[in-house]
Amino acid sequence: MDFEEYKLNVSSRFDALSEEDQQQVIELMRTPIGQTIISVLGSELLDFGTPETEQPTAPVRRGLAAPVI
């Protein structure tokens, strides 16, 4: 198992928790003990709260008088 698979497993386990348990984990990470855990495990492992999204691109214009769609 490589790191990306492990990270995906951790993310799946977090998603399987109840909302209350997820909130407790989030609150724990904001405490001094949580900061120590983050410094040991690395923030990469714990960064699964937001999905990766593509950045929007600028609209394509087809001439000087073309409207932006």
pLDDT digits (tens, 9 = 90+) for 13-62: 999 999 999 999 989 989 999 899 888 888 887 765 544 445 666 666 66
Domain limits for position 31: 3-46
Establish if 18 belongs to a structural domain: yes
* In-domain check, residue 29: yes
Count the alpha carbons within 13 Å of 15 in the hemisphere toward its beta carbon. Answer: 11
Q: Output the pLDDT for position 32.
A: 93
pLDDT value, residue 13: 92
Contact residues for 32 (Cβ-Cβ < 8 A; gap 6+):
none
- Give the largest Cα separation in the chain, rounded: 59
Examine residue 64 and state whether it is found in any structural domain, yes or no.
Answer: no
Least Cα distance to 69 among 61, 18, 20 occurs for 61
Looking at the structure of the chain, the number of domains it has is: 1
Alpha helix stretches (DSSP H) within 1-69: 3-16, 19-29, 32-41, 43-46
Residue 12 domain flag: yes
Q: What is the pLDDT of residue 24?
A: 93
pLDDT at 61: 65
pLDDT in the model for residue 54:
55
pTM tops 0.85, yes or no:
no
Answer yes or no: is 42 within a domain: yes
